[in-house]
Amino acid sequence: MRRKNMKIGVIGCGYWGPNLIRNFNAIPECEMVVCADLKEENRLRMKRLYPGVRVTADHTEIVADPTITAIAVATPAYLHHPLAQACLQAGKHVLVEKPLATSVDECKNLITLARKSRKILMVGHTFEYSPAVKKAKEILASGELGDVLYARTARLNLGLFQPDINVIWDLAPHDISILLYLLGKECLAVNGQGRAHYFEGIEDVATATLHFKDGNFATIETSWLDPYKIRSMTLVGTKKMLVYDDIHPNEKIKIFDKGVDAPRHYDNYGEFQFAYRYGDISSPRIEDGEPVRIECEHFLECIRENRTPRSDGESGLRVVSILEAICESMRQNGSLVKLRDAAQPKNGRGRNGFGRKVAASP
């Protein structure tokens, strides 16, 4: 077994932090040393679950600790930039939960700091490390689907309402990162529409359309107000169609041998007939593996080997630029917003999808 030469700290033990602590604690190549949270109940819970892990209410203890190799930040989004910035300035490698930051400018700042300090900056686009998404990527690369015509995603559930960010910033980063990873194409522009039913300036239902280079597009539906929990993505190709259902316990990917063919040549309307194909439905075998564990192992591997993470700072920047543009489009009643416009400074309350700042644990 390898020597535990990497000591890890986690800032934030509320919703997502415990998943990171659990996985880092189980990886032999590192030592989960310390975690921080302002809430005593969260600290006590971590102490009960992991007696060997030190807990603190002061995250600066972790940042200043010279024995800590890397720090994971799992706090409310508006704290991502200042905490990651402090970690990088202290010479730590950093894994930041999605989104990387709350603006394009903040993302660029973190990328610059990581380059200057020669430290790994990685963003927690967890689903890029899902075995099911990996299989979907392989299927696309094989050409089995043909050319992808469009994609459609739905990420819906009842709650959890966030007091500081809207539903786009909360849920859409997952699907945006998956789409960018699968399609491997640049997003050029977006449309977005949303409504705030309970908190002013914080949309709880929203849809977006992403327009990609070469003419592809994808629609994203997000909601905190749906009776069903849905986590699905559909890729429609010229040959076949793929459905990725993350909720399904066993068959997360299904391939439909369905499609439509139009006649290449016809002389009159009577000769024009679509040919619909209804073939078999298959579900490929998918490797076992928890995405968070794979993500944490990848982070450590990149530190050891000085490699660029799959979901690096640039990946986080691309996602945040799309999120900003979607929110700008919502403010413009769904107008098309080009991605290059998303980098401009935003002014006005809630303009970039963020509402009031709330007291929360670092």
All structural domains of the chain: 6-124 (3.40.50.720), 128-289+321-343 (3.30.360.10)
Rounded distance, CA 22 to CA 16, Å? Answer: 10
- Tens digit of each residue's pLDDT, the chain (362 residues): 344 589 999 999 999 999 999 999 999 999 999 999 999 999 999 999 999 999 999 999 999 999 999 999 999 999 999 999 999 999 999 999 999 999 999 999 999 999 999 999 999 999 999 999 999 999 999 999 999 999 999 999 998 998 889 999 999 999 999 999 999 999 999 999 999 999 999 999 999 999 999 889 999 999 999 999 999 999 999 999 999 999 999 999 999 998 777 666 555 555 556 677 788 899 999 999 999 999 999 999 999 999 999 999 999 999 999 999 999 999 999 999 999 644 443 433 344 676 544 444 44
Q: How far apart are CA 118 and CA 97, in angstroms?
A: 20
Strands (E), the chain: 6-11, 30-36, 54-56, 70-73, 93-97, 121-124, 148-158, 187-195, 205-212, 217-223, 225-237, 241-245, 253-261, 275-282, 337-338
The model carries a pTM of 0.90
19 closest CA partner among 49, 41, 48, 39:
49
